[in-house]
Structure 1
Amino acid sequence: MIELIRLNGHTFLLNAFLIEQVEAFPDTTITLVSGKKIIVQNEVNEVYRLVNQRFRQIGLVAIHKDVEG
């Protein structure tokens, strides 16, 4: 789950696995796999960072390590 802020200023938790796409119209609009759209105050790059941070915490994003060989 990631914590986001609705346009009315209230925070809520969103299951990051349900996100299909994130766009700026100019407000950040999150489209879920169900087709539901949620508009948030968070910037697109912040949502991206939160999702990647959560996936990294649960082990879904491997840490890339450059190895010379």
Structure 2
Amino acid sequence: MISLTKLNKKAFSLNALYIESVEEFPDTTITLTTGRKYVVLESKEEVQRKIIAFYRSVQLLSNPHLRGEKDEEE
């Protein structure tokens, strides 16, 4: 989960595994795989940093296949 802030200044947590896209128009809008959208105060770059930190914390980025690396045997 990542911590974010809605436009009304209320903090909430969002499961980063369900994030499909993060855009700025100019407000930062997060679209989930379900189609639900959240508009947050954080910048696009800040949201991306939080997503990467979350992935690292659950060791999602530690898998070489997910990083696009090939096995030495291939």
Q: TM-score, normalised by structure 1?
A: 0.87
Number of paired residues? 62
- Secondary structure of the 2:8 match is coil
- Secondary structure of the 2:59 match is coil
Taking every aligned residue pair, what percent have the same amino acid on both sides? Answer: 47
Matched with 1:59 is: 59
Question: Is there any run of 5+ residues in structure 2 with no aligned partner, and where?
Answer: 63-74
d(CA) in 1 for partners of 2:58 and 2:37? 25
Q: TM-score, normalised by structure 2?
A: 0.82
> 1:43 and 2:9 equivalent?
no
> 1:11 and 2:21 equivalent?
no
| Moved beyond 6 Å, runs of 4+ | none
- Secondary structure of the 1:31 match is strand
